[in-house]
Structure 1
Amino acid sequence: MSVFKFTLLSALAVAAVDTVRADSASLVTSLKTATNEVAKVNLLQDSDYVFDFFNASTGIASGSGGHAVAASVSNFPALVGQGVAMTVGFLEPCGMNTPHTHPRATEILYAVNGTLTSGTIGENGSRFVFNTISPGQATVFPMGSVHYQANEGCAPMTFVSAFNYEDPGTLSMAQRYLGLPPDVVAASLGNLGVEDVVGIEAALPDNFALGRDECLQRCGLTRGPQPSTQRQPRVAGNALPPPAASAASGTPRSSAVSPRTPVRTLTCDDEL
């Protein structure tokens, strides 16, 4: 396939997804302002009540360790006012859905065809909860708790998660925490060093990552490079210090700045 054809097809695919999102947003707005449930039903087509997890174009999160498809109010308008949402996850061998939280919903997860391990921590003072979930078993993650799931097997596995709110939200812990101002993160970690923090953040894999070394070795897998596209966008308030910004763009870092040197907050006029 020529570069021109590939570029054209990519552009058409992006345009199609944007159209779907715009149509869904418009329908969601109409459903939320409908006067009653009968009016909502009349706004929907029969096919609007069906969501295809195997052929979704939106609601997808992915990485080297697998991917998940989420059906929520943003891409499944029939959920407006229903108080439920669902995600289907596909974990590769040794894949991990890295630590995250759902700020607006409790999750119940069902293991379909493989065994996974899960860990959960709630609010300050609560203990760590660890479980092994076999096929046919389920576990619960309370709203707002930090939790993860890991496929400890050498074959792909699938899980299904249901939520008690139509817009549960997901907050990936590592990406969001390391997306705070680097000097704040450095101080909260015992003054690790701003440039150390920047280096760690730059290497973060996307939320579906390859998991523990023991599993990789047992299954004969190697970690290798992983996509890192879900990092927190930078604005003036959480901007990288100038040397780190230069290093991120490929410019050699100045040796005049110590990793523990306090950094200034960049203004909107500074280039990142």
Structure 2
Amino acid sequence: MKFSTFVLSILGAATCVSAQNTNATTKTAELLEGLQKAPTRLARLNVLKDNKDWLFDFTSGLGTTKNAGGNITAANVANFPALFANGLAMTIAQMEPCGMNTPHTHPRATEILYLVNGEMEAGFIEENGARFVHNTLTKGQGTLFPQGSIHYQINTGCDPVLFVAALNDEDPGTSQIAQRFFGLPPDVTQATLGDVGLQEVTKLAIGIPDNMAIGVDKCLKKCGLTRGSQTMKQQQPRDADNALPGTK
């Protein structure tokens, strides 16, 4: 009887959280609709009439993804309507020892990153013909990733690190390079890679970890860690046009 009561209390709490999330989503949609219709900044202020509409809690779990290599919380116009028409967004991330924010781009924003603690490797490549830019950051240092550049960060230490990043668009977008490339039609990916068979393409495509992944082998060896299992939920969706061999 006590166990049944306990289970019911858990289910009730889960229902309550689900209802809160639904209510928050509905409110966000309503605020964004009002902001889009508001003709002036003063009118937008009147849409965001609750003082808490101007508050974003980076510890609430809103906008957070958690993977093997760490967790990342993004405040953008989709979850923080106050950013509407203000031209910026912010990300806070914790990377586990040897964690890596895998190569990606922000198609609509330049990013400036500040390292709160520890040590980090960061690099980027811009357009065709550009050189590779690489730096090792220590506590209190920052770096910049130009709009559209392919960039990454690696925690090269054996303790967690925290970084804060600002982006100059309220809807910066993120495109993970590996997932998107291997989400193309397999024969296109095969031809791009040269002398690689379709089976190899398929194996690579289904083995790509999510964005906050476990990093490079030299760090794992230094820290006495193993790669272990990783989540793979960010794969490119498949349909008849980009299906892997044997899955059509």
Partner of 2:232: 228
Task: Map residues 1-272 of structure 1 onto 2, 5 A cutoff.
Answer: 10=14, 13-44=17-48, 45-57=50-62, 59-242=63-246, 245=247, 266=248
Higher mean displacement: 11-20 or 41-50: 11-20
Shift of 1:194: 1.3
How many residues end up aligned between the 2 structures? 243
Task: Find the aligned partners of 1:11 and 1:195 in 2 and give their Cα distance.
Answer: 44
CA distance in 2, matches of 1:79, 1:177: 31
2: distance between equivalents of 1:101 and 1:193?
Answer: 27
TM-score of the pair, normalised by structure 2: 0.92
Any idea what the Cα deviations from partners look like across 1:65-104, whole Å, max 9, x if unmatched? Answer: 0011000000000000111110001100100000000000
Deviating 4+ runs (over 6 angstroms): 1-4
Contact 1:60 1:70 in 2 (8 A): yes
Q: Report the AA paired with residue 49 of structure 1.
A: W
User: Counterpart of 1:75 in structure 2: which amino acid?
Assistant: N
For 1:173 and 1:11, how far apart are their aligned partners in 2? 37
Q: What amino acid is the match of 1:52?
A: D
| 2: CA distance, partners of 1:11 / 1:180 | 39
TM-score, structure 1 as length reference = 0.84
**Alpha carbons of structure 1 residues 127 and 202: separation in structure 2 relative to 1, 3 Å:** same
- Post-superposition offset of 1:15: 4.6
Q: Secondary structure of 2:28's partner?
A: helix
Amino acid corresponding to residue 204 of structure 2 in structure 1: I
The amino acid of 1:53's aligned partner reads: F
Match of 1:254 in 2: none
How big is the shift at 1:9? 5.2
Aligned mates of 2:211, 2:123 — CA distance in 1:
15
Aligned counterparts of 2:180 and 2:241: Cα–Cα separation in 1: 14
Q: Specify the SS of the correspondent of 1:40.
A: helix
